[in-house]
């Protein structure tokens, strides 16, 4: 598209200087169309041009000046007065464009609240529906669309029409801009403005005092990491007390999956510190982030690191964990891992709580029930450290998939990690090739089984279940940024929605698996079905050294780990304890047939007893259930917070300088910096 733009400007310049009316008109029309297409479908390219100062405004000015130049160059035109009017009209239009942008910024600022919420009635903030995105956000598209009449008028004049055609077009463009300015100015009138930022924060503090949260989850991160928070929503909802989710990024508010738990987003440090004055006693942390240190400044809240999964990798015993009051782990294996890593975590601060979200995983029931053996291949991503043993997808992925597809009685479920290819391009390329292999295999099987398809009613049932689940779990809002914020602020969950979501999810999963033939391989890259649903559908797992192995052990089904580390098999097993109850595959995938044989004939499975022992070692005992142990740990940490507060009162230190003041100072320093 940039090439088309450049050629159109060059052609328009030639057409203006010759002058050539057909060339001038054609190139101007092509340029305007290409510019709009660029802003509509290639926004990243438009942003790159903006960094080169070739903004949409500059491009439109050049386009109009070339048109005016062409008009002046055309013979037999009386331009002394007429074209002075045209130029002045264009200047007026551009001035109105600047006014539109200025007022749009003022309106956005007045509507941007310091706190964004979900599942809380924030109607007192009086945030009305936003103006169309074309008015509020898309200044480039607005300029191009409003320029259509003026450009058309100039082109009409260039093709032999009256100069009044150009004047009329410019007047119409200016009228559009005037109306837009009027719409924006009306939103700035005192009676139309929402509550101010200070009033919004006062409302938030009143809500905190009324709701009185006790336990919560703190999360900060990017879109690709939201799964780390979502996996803890259900366990958090089951905790005794009044739970709360605290976020830091505005976009993350709509990324969190469906939940009845109140969600608050506090982007500024100074506003975050208001939690110190609340009844909040403890926060769990599924991940470390740069902004985690900011909430750790609040001494009245206790903090527990729960991680988003446990594995034998060094990342599962990060030294940053010593910043938390406690580290909650699944079982004895993680406790030993921290002790061996010697990263400063005191053993008394490690609490074994199991993995409460694994209750949804069905237990092992023996050999595959149907004619096909379902294999879940779920490789992890390449990680940040460049270790070739992190993921099998580069060195072994295609060999594993090729070996599985060669077996006519295998149904493959391929679920790559969401971050695959984000660091090492070779991993992303291998992921693409694997998916192409699976699609080709499905095409062959379709030809072999032309009559073995589910009844049409299965697809209808899935569509109905999908629609119901989407209705209950939707976090999709209109595209305007501040309109999304308004919808989030005023979203209140339906009573009993959590139970309805759970039932709808179960029904959707059953309909999903029934909607395609038993022989069809599946590529699963969407959020649904989740990895636990894939565990239940699978007879055997092939993965890498990752938390996927630990979680899958809850089922006690057979599994295999791919060794791309360069270590011998014995050294590999000694280095990574999660491997000891599973088969080890080499990069050439030569062990796949033996693995499948042991799955189809459980009497040939040499690791059954070892899996039971390893499950206890990794996940802890099943009695009391993990949900109970998780709740016990939360209540104990809340009691610690209460004891600290009581001790502060006894020592007469309850009036120490507020952390909110410290947060305000920190925010001020950040802004100045």
d(CA 499, CA 257) in angstroms, rounded, equals 14
Domain boundaries, the chain: 2-112+132-191, 212-354+626-673, 371-453+517-619, 454-516
- Rounded to whole angstroms, how far apart are CA atoms 598 and 609? 14
Q: pLDDT tens across 395-405, in order?
A: 999 999 999 99
Residue holding tokens 């089984």? 449
Res. 479: pLDDT tops 50: no
pLDDT (tens digit, 9 = 90+) per residue, 397-453? Answer: 999 999 999 999 999 999 999 888 888 899 999 999 999 999 999 999 999 888 888
CA distances from 546 to 159, 248, 543, 553, 554 (A): 69, 28, 8, 12, 14
Q: Residue 660: pLDDT above 80?
A: no
- The fraction of the chain above a pLDDT of 90, given in percent, is 38
Instruction: Assess contact for 617 and 258: CB atoms under 8 A.
Output: no
| Segment 270-279 mean pLDDT | 92
**Which of 258-262, 391-395, 604-608 is least confident?**
258-262
> What pLDDT does 668 receive?
53
**Helix (H) or strand (E) segment spanning residue 377:** strand 373-378
Query: pLDDT tens digits for 229-238?
Result: 998 998 998 8
Strand locations in 494-652 (E): 522-523, 540-543, 559-562, 583-585
In this prediction, residue 10 has a pLDDT band, given cuts at 50, 70 and 90, of confident
pLDDT recorded at residue 559: 96
Does residue 119 register a pLDDT over 50? yes
Mean pLDDT of 97-117: 84
Residues pairing with 302 in the sheet: 282
Instruction: For residue 81, name the pLDDT band (cuts at 50, 70, 90).
Output: low
Express each pLDDT in 582-592 by its tens digit.
Answer: 999 999 999 99
Average pLDDT of the residues of the chain: 84
**pLDDT computed for residue 257 by the predictor:** 83
Alpha helices in 264-319 (DSSP H): 269-272, 292-295
Give φ, ψ of 375 to 5 degrees. Answer: -110, 125
Whole-angstrom distance between the N-terminal and C-terminal Cα of the chain? Answer: 38
CB 235 within 8 A of CB 215: no
**Higher-confidence position of 120 and 246:** 246
The correct CATH number of 212-354+626-673 out of 1.20.144, 3.40.50, 3.30.370, 1.10.260 is 3.40.50
User: How many residues in the chain?
Assistant: 673
In terms of pLDDT, which residue wins out, 605 or 130? 605
Under a CB-based contact definition with an 8 Å cutoff, are residues 253 and 247 in contact?
yes
| Per-residue pLDDT at 653 | 57
For residue 246, count other CB atoms closer than 10 A to its CB. 21
The mean per-residue pLDDT over the stretch 531-559 comes to 92
**pLDDT score recorded for residue 35:** 86
Question: Quick check: 492 and 211 in contact, CB under 8 A?
Answer: no
573 Cβ contact partners less than 8 Å away, ≥ 6 residues apart = 579, 580, 584
**Secondary structure (3-state) at 114:** coil
Given a contact cutoff of 8 angstroms between Cβ atoms, the answer to whether 585 and 404 are in contact is no
Task: Give me the pLDDT at residue 634, please.
Answer: 95
Contacts of 326 (CB under 8 A, 6+ apart): 302, 303, 304, 305, 349, 350, 351, 633, 637
Question: What is the tens place of the pLDDT at every residue in 188-233?
Answer: 888 777 778 888 899 999 999 999 999 999 999 888 788 889 989 9
212-354+626-673 and 371-453+517-619 have identical folds: yes
- The answer, yes or no, to whether residue 480 has pLDDT greater than 50, is no
Whether 430 contacts 441, CB under 8 Å:
no
| Tokens found for residue 323 | 């910043």
Token digits for 146? 């409003």
492-518 tens-digit pLDDT: 655 666 678 888 888 999 999 999 999
Do β-strands 559-562 and 583-585 pair in parallel, antiparallel, or remain unpaired? parallel
pLDDT on residue 313: 62
- Helix then strand then coil, % of the chain, to nearest 5: 60, 10, 35
d(CA 477, CA 305): 32
Could you tell me which of 220, 213, 297 has the C-alpha nearest to residue 664?
Answer: 297
Which residues are registered as beta bridge partners of 217?
Answer: 245, 284
Task: Kindly state the tokens that stand for 465.
Answer: 């279940």
Is the predicted pLDDT of residue 385 greater than 70, yes or no?
A: no
Q: Is the pLDDT of residue 521 over 80?
A: yes
Return phi, psi of residue 583, to 5°: -75, 155
> Which CATH topology does 371-453+517-619 take?
Rossmann fold (3.40.50)
What single string gives the DSSP state of each residue in 607-636? THHHHHHHHHHHH--SSS-HHHHHHHHHHH
* Cβ atoms of 247 and 304 closer than 8 Å: no
Per-residue CA distances from 90 to 55, 93, 97, 371, 619 (Å): 18, 5, 11, 74, 71
Task: Check pLDDT > 50 for residue 658.
Answer: no
What six digits make up the tokens of 476?
């999709």
Q: Which residues pair with 283 in a beta bridge?
A: 216, 303
């Amino acid at each position: 598209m940039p090439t088309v733009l450049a050629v159109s400007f060059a052609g328009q310049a030639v057409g203006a200087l010759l002058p050539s009316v057909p060339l001038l008109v054609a190139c101007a029309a092509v340029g305007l169309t290409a510019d709009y297409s660029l802003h509509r479908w290639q926004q990243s390219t438009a942003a790159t041009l903006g960094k080169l100062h070739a903004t949409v405004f500059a491009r439109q000015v050049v386009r109009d000046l070339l048109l005016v130049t062409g008009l002046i160059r055309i013979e037999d035109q009386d331009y002394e007065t007429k074209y002075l009017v045209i130029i002045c009209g264009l200047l007026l239009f551009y001035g109105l464009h600047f006014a539109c942008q200025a007022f749009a910024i003022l309106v956005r600022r007045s509507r941007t609240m310091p706190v964004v919420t979900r599942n809380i009635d924030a109607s007192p903030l009086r945030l009305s529906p936003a103006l169309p995105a074309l008015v509020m956000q898309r200044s480039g598209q607005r300029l191009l669309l409003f320029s259509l009449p003026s450009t058309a008028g100039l082109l009409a004049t260039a093709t032999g029409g009256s100069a009044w055609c150009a004047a009329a077009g410019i007047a119409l463009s200016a009228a559009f801009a005037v109306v837009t300015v009027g719409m924006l100015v009306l939103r700035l009138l005192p009676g139309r403005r929402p509550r101010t930022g200070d009033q919004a924060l006062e409302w938030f503090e009143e809500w905190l005092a009324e709701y009185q949260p006790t336990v919560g989850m703190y999360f900060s991160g990017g879109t690709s990491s939201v799964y780390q928070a979502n996996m803890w929503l259900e366990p958090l909802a089951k905790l005794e007390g009044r739970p709360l989710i605290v976020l830091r990024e505005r976009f993350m508010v709509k990324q969190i999956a469906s939940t009845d738990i109140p969600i608050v987003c506090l982007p500024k440090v100074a506003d975050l510190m208001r939690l110190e004055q609340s009844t909040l006693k403890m926060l769990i942390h599924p991940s470390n982030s740069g902004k985690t240190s900011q909430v750790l400044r609040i001494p009245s809240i206790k903090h527990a690191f729960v991680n988003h999964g446990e594995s034998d990798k060094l990342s599962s015993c990060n030294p940053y964990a010593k910043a938390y009051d406690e580290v909650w782990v699944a079982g004895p294996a993680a406790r030993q891992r921290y002790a061996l890593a010697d990263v400063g975590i005191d053993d008394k601060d490690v609490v074994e709580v199991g993995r409460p979200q694994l209750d949804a995983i069905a237990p092992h029931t023996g050999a595959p029930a149907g004619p096909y053996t379902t294999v879940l291949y779920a490789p992890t991503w390449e990680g940040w450290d460049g270790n070739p043993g992190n993921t099998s997808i580069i060195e072994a992925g295609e060999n594993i998939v090729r070996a599985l597809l060669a077996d006519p009685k295998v149904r493959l479920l391929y679920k790559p990690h969401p971050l695959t290819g984000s660091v090492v391009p070779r991993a992303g390329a291998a992921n693409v090739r694997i998916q192409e292999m699976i699609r080709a295999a499905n095409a062959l099987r379709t030809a072999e089984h032309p009559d073995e398809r589910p009844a049409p009613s299965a697809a209808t049932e899935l569509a109905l279940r999908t629609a119901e689940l989407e209705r209950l779990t939707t976090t999709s809002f209109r595209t305007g940024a501040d309109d999304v914020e308004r919808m989030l602020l005023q979203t209140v969950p339906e009573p009993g929605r959590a139970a309805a979501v759970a039932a709808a999810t179960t029904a959707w999963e059953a309909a999903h698996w029934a909607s395609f033939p038993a022989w069809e391989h599946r590529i699963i890259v969407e959020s649904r079905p989740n990895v636990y649903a894939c565990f239940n559908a699978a007879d055997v797992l092939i993965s890498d050294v990752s938390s996927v192995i630990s979680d899958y052990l809850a089922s006690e089904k057979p599994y295999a780990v791919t060794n791309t580390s360069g270590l011998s098999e014995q050294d590999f097993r000694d280095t990574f304890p999660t491997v000891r109850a599973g088969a080890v595959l080499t990069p050439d995938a030569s062990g796949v047939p033996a693995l499948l044989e042991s799955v189809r004939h459980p009497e040939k499975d040499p690791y059954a007893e070892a899996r039971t022992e390893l499950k206890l070692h990794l996940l802890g005992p099943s009695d009391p259930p993990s949900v109970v142990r998780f709740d016990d740990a939360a209540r104990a940490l809340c009691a610690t917070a209460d004891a600290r507060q009581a001790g502060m009162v006894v020592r007469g230190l309850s009036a120490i300088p507020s952390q909110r003041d410290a947060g305000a100072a920190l925010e001020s320093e950040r802004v100045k910096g």
